[in-house]
Amino acid sequence: MVGNLDQGSPVYAVKHEEGVSKTISYLLPAAAGIVALLVYGITMAPDLTWSHFGGDGGELITASVTSGIPHPPGYPTYVLLGKLFALIPAGTVAWRFNLMSAVAAAIATAFVTATALNTLEGKRHREIVSLATGLAVAFAPLLWSQAIIAEVYALNSAFLAIFLWSLLGQRSPLISGLFLGLAVTSHLSSLLMLPLAMLLVPRRGWKYLLGGLLIGLTPLLILPLLAASNSPVKWGDPTTLSGWWWLVSGRLYYANLRLPEPADAWAKLWSVSTVLIRQFLYAGWVLIVLGISTRIVDRRTTLALALSALLYLVYGYLYQTDDAVIHLLPALLLLSPLLAAGLARLGSWSLLLPLGLLLINFQGLNLHKENTVRPLATNILTTAPQNSVLLTPGDQSIFALWYYHHVEEIRPDLAVIDTNLLAFDWYRRHISEQYPDLTALDLDDIEAFRAENGRTRFVCDVAPALGRLIGCTATPSSA
């Protein structure tokens, strides 16, 4: 019987080794996640920030706290999880959402480490190299930048890292599909992982993969319920099937997916390529090539991972927005098993890569003392005339004001309205419900809106980036 085995017996040795290996498979990823979380905590923004393409933060936080619907595809999983983090009795509400990103990125780090452990099964220095791989991804600028602000990309990375851990570890296709579905609810670009899943899951497992995917997508079904809330942030009208599809399909942003202008084509390619190359200090890509040559990862899986990473590179090239480079982040997760295989050549020296990333990127990514947005937003809100209407010129301004106005409840007497969003009939209907006294909302006519509502309120224009109130106009009867 096993219970009576002598400690010197071969069977005991095998059992003991298996037990140690199983313990390491839990403790080492957890340790990597904790180290990453500590670094993120030190460098995390204390408040709302626009740094690292964080302009959507104010909208995401406000929607989550008030049970609303952020911009397409609505991000219901982020909204639900954010409500839990909003309950933390510490820091500003924005800090709590920054913390949610840090925790999510730390979870991604842990599962990248766990995937590396599986990849390097039976190899020398497996534990050290796996730790180095996880921390190299954690301290790569793309993941680190998103781990310390309120955005959806860190949460998306956590779901994708778990998906890859399950897929590459040949776990149940149901689990792989589940986390792929959750990843899609946190960013639609995660659909680019579906070909990889279908390549690596045997055909007989496709039905379980699809079943898990559908279960993971179920948070999208709560969007009609969120539409019934009194939140100031409600994009679209998901109470109808066509309205729901408009929202979850991200149709609003289809126009952004196109070839760059001919004059910008090479500059965009250079920008996207160099951002990706810099993630692992250049030398990391040599290690990835070495990892391919080791054949630690089988040829079929290597090809599938590389092609999937290339898909994200093409997507980043074709997506014409300022923050398009952030969409390259999943490529780092995809290439991490190949990086682990390359780092195996270095043994314990592999820790130099994450250490170098930490030292080189720390200063440039540190947002611990960042406090740009609050003074600008609060100055706008506190200096506005009583009961005035504030007209903002676009996402960055309206999102920040939404947070300070609705979450921190600064100047509840004001009406904060975005001139760009007034082009949508669903937004004008929502404004009519939110501010019943405002008129001239039947059509997208900003001049008629100013004239009509200037009879009863001051109407003030907010300068771009919350620079100042450009001016407040009103008829004498409203002054």
Identify whether 6 is part of a domain.
no
- State whether 241 and 356 are in the same domain: yes
Within the chain, what is the greatest distance between any pair of CA atoms? Answer: 97
- State whether 117 and 239 are in the same domain: yes
Identify whether 3 is part of a domain.
no
160-184 pLDDT tens trace: 999 999 999 999 999 999 999 999 9
- State whether 25 and 152 are in the same domain: yes
Identify whether 128 is part of a domain.
yes
- State whether 291 and 380 are in the same domain: no
- State whether 257 and 404 are in the same domain: no
- State whether 335 and 243 are in the same domain: yes
Identify whether 62 is part of a domain.
yes
Structural domain total, the chain: 2
Interatomic CA distance for residues 224 and 235, integer angstroms = 11
Range of the domain at 315: 12-365
pLDDT in tens, the chain (479 residues): 344 555 555 544 444 455 556 777 789 999 999 999 999 999 999 999 999 999 999 999 999 999 999 999 999 999 999 999 999 999 999 999 999 999 999 999 999 999 999 999 988 899 999 999 999 999 999 999 999 999 999 999 999 999 999 999 999 999 999 999 999 999 999 999 999 999 999 999 999 999 999 999 999 999 999 999 999 999 999 999 999 999 999 999 999 999 999 988 999 999 898 999 999 998 899 999 999 999 999 999 999 999 999 999 999 999 999 899 999 999 999 999 999 999 999 999 999 999 999 999 999 999 999 999 999 999 999 999 999 999 999 889 999 999 999 999 999 999 999 999 999 999 999 999 999 999 999 999 999 999 999 999 999 999 999 988 987 886 545 44
Identify whether 2 is part of a domain.
no
- Side chain identity at 359, as an amino acid letter? L
- State whether 257 and 399 are in the same domain: no
Residue among 306, 470, 274 nearest 388 (CA): 470
63-66: long-range contacts, CB 8 A cutoff, minimum separation 24: 63/231, 63/233, 64/97, 65/93, 65/406, 65/407, 66/229, 66/230, 66/231, 66/232, 66/233, 66/406, 66/407
Question: Is residue 358 a contact partner of residue 38, using CB atoms and an 8 Å limit?
Answer: no
Identify whether 385 is part of a domain.
yes
- State whether 217 and 145 are in the same domain: yes
- State whether 242 and 189 are in the same domain: yes
Looking at 365, 391, 419, the residue that finishes a domain is 365
Output the 3-class SS for 376-395: HHHHHHHHCCCCCEEEECCH
Identify whether 1 is part of a domain.
no
Question: Is residue 178 a contact partner of residue 216, using CB atoms and an 8 Å limit?
Answer: yes
> Residue for token digits 């659909």?
191
Q: Is the pTM of this model over 0.85?
A: yes
- State whether 289 and 418 are in the same domain: no
Looking at 309, 335, 365, the residue that finishes a domain is 365
Output the 3-class SS for the chain: CHHHCCCCCHHHHHHHHHHHHHHHHHHHHHHHHHHHHHHHHHHCCCCCCCCCCCCCHHHHHHHHHCCCECCCCCCHHHHHHHHHHCCCCCCCHHHHHHHHHHHHHHHHHHHHHHHHHHHCCCCCCHHHHHHHHHHHHHCCHHHHHHHCCCCCHHHHHHHHHHHHHHHHCCCCHHHHHHHHHHHHHHCHHHHHHHHHHHHHCCHHHHHHHHHHHHHHCHHHHHHHHHCCCCCCCECCCCCCHHHHHHHHCCHHHHHHECCCCHHHHHHHHHHHHHHHHHHHCCHHHHHHHHHHHHCCCCHHHHHHHHHHHHHHHHHHHHECCCCHHHHHHHHHHHHHHHHHHHHCCCHHHHHHHHHHHHHHHHHHHCCCCCCCHHHHHHHHHHHCCCCCEEEECCHHHHHHHHHHHHHCCCCCCCEEEECCHHHCHHHHHHHHHHCCCCCCCCCCCHHHHHHHHCCCCCEEEECHHHCCEEEEECCHHHC
Question: Is residue 143 a contact partner of residue 176, using CB atoms and an 8 Å limit?
Answer: no
Phi, psi dihedral angles at 125 (to 5 degrees):
55, 30
Looking at 365, 394, 416, the residue that finishes a domain is 365
Identify whether 216 is part of a domain.
yes
Strand partners, 257: 319
334-371 pLDDT tens trace: 999 999 999 999 999 999 999 999 999 999 999 999 99
- State whether 345 and 457 are in the same domain: no
Q: What pLDDT is attached to residue 479? A: 46
CB neighbours (10 Å) of residue 260?
Answer: 17
- State whether 346 and 381 are in the same domain: no
- Bond preceding residue 72 cis, omega within 30 of 0: no
